[in-house]
């Protein structure tokens, strides 16, 4: 399993272009993901299985939904006789304790999730509109958050459930501008030293 943290540029491959793009194109590219019609998540996962090099799960979806979409994608890839690669993008934070992770990362991830919650993003519709908007309500089966041992168990659980070969970690949230850089660097160090060797 591969875990990456940082920015990612996904450049779709076409029949006309199968090689990597130049640095100039990568640095100056504009990519529109607008479709003539909006695809439902299942349809998008099936389409990815038929034509894409992989499937990237969204960071705010639940484990049950991520597993379902990964299964749909993998089945479509098998039917199309294409290799399947599942990547899970996750909101994740490791600290010396769950309390420290909640204190450092919680306010920032909750600022991002407030927008999704208030606009009833599909990933949050399984929670009733009257549910409390708290980290305790939203974190289970959604965030990988806590001390190193907890994060190891969660990565292993997500990998087993979704067959993910790679995890992309969203450590900083544009909605809140944080956590601060020094805290992000500390989390990256902890991931590297205390989590990644065991997943």
Topology, domain 2-6+37-198: TIM Barrel (3.20.20)
Model confidence at 152, in pLDDT bands (50, 70, 90)?
A: very high
Burial tier of 135 (Cβ tally within 10 Å: 0-12, 13-18, 19+)? middle
Quote the CA–CA distance of 133 and 78 in Å, as a whole number.
Answer: 39
Residue whose structure tokens are 């309390």: 99
Q: pLDDT tens across 67-121, in order?
A: 999 999 999 999 999 999 999 999 999 999 999 999 999 999 999 888 888 887 8
Integer Cα distance of 199 and 184 in angstroms: 20
pLDDT above 80 for 13: no
């Amino acid at each position: 399993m591969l875990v990456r943290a940082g920015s990612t540029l996904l450049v779709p491959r076409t029949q006309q272009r199968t090689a990597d793009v130049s640095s100039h194109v990568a640095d100056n590219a504009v990519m529109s993901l607008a479709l003539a019609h909006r695809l439902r998540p299942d349809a998008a996962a099936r389409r990815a299985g038929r034509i894409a090099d992989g499937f990237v799960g969204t960071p705010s979806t639940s484990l049950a939904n991520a597993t379902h979409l990964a299964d749909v994608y993998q089945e479509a890839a098998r039917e199309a006789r294409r290799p399947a690669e599942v990547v899970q993008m996750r909101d994740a934070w490791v600290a010396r304790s769950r309390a420290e992770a909640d204190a450092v990362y919680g306010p920032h991830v909750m600022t991002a999730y407030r927008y999704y919650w208030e606009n009833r993003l599909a990933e949050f519709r399984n929670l009733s509109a009257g549910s409390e908007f708290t980290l305790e309500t939203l974190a289970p089966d959604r965030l990988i958050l806590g001390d190193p041992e907890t994060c190891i168990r969660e990565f292993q659980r997500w990998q087993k459930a979704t067959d993910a070969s790679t995890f992309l970690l969203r450590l900083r949230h544009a909605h809140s501008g944080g956590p601060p850089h020094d805290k992000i660097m500390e989390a990256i160090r902890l991931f590297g030293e205390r989590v990644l060797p065991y997943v």
